[in-house]
Amino acid sequence: MNKKPVTKILFVCLGNICRSPMAETIFNKIITEHHAQDDYVVDSAGLIGFHAGEPADIRMQRHARNHGYNITHISRKIREYDFDEYNYIVAMDDDNIRRLNDIAPTLEAQSKIVRMTDFCRKYSVSNVPDPYYGGYQDFEHVVSILEDACNGLFEESRQ
């Protein structure tokens, strides 16, 4: 019996303290609910290392808990070898995509970069907005978009 190879997904945002750790957490919950943990490796990273070693933003953690999630990720900066390690490099917005394309070591690596919102099924949005300088509604909006997009990514990655 041939076992399907493990799908490796890296979620990326600017600082790895709001959007990408939330996406990682949501996706991990989805694969746990579908008993698919052995089929995936999931992580997140930031384009800048300013917050490296820090937990997720306390406001994002609070909104995560309100939706039944527990963010345990510790921020890290993306590494060049992440492009070799992961099948999907999932960017939250256009600026993230531009920066990822700039640091991708090869054209093959660039081909792994995808937009998070391309997997949305309910929401028609082009980017996951950064809630860092926003308020309550901004964080809630991000959680809703990420839940939608993570479910879509899970469905597509299972095909």
- Which is the catalytic residue, given 19, 43, 82, 93? 19
Q: Is residue 150 flagged as an active site residue?
A: no
Q: Is residue 130 flagged as an active site residue?
A: yes
Query: Which residues, including other chains, have CB under 8 Å from residue 49's CB and lie 6 or more apart?
Result: 76, 77
- Which is the catalytic residue, given 43, 82, 130, 148? 130
For the whole model, what pTM was predicted?
0.96
Residue 127 to residue 97: CA distance in whole angstroms: 10
Question: In this predicted model, what pLDDT tens digit does every residue of 134-152 receive, in sequence order?
Answer: 999 999 999 999 999 999 9
Predicted confidence band of residue 2 (pLDDT cuts 50, 70, 90): low
- Going across the sheet that includes 113-115, the strands are 40-46, 7-13, 88-91, 113-115
Task: State the pLDDT at residue 124.
Answer: 96
Predicted confidence band of residue 122 (pLDDT cuts 50, 70, 90): very high
Q: Is residue 18 flagged as an active site residue?
A: no
Task: State the pLDDT at residue 103.
Answer: 97
Average pLDDT in the 13-27 region? Answer: 98
Residue 6 to residue 43: CA distance in whole angstroms: 13
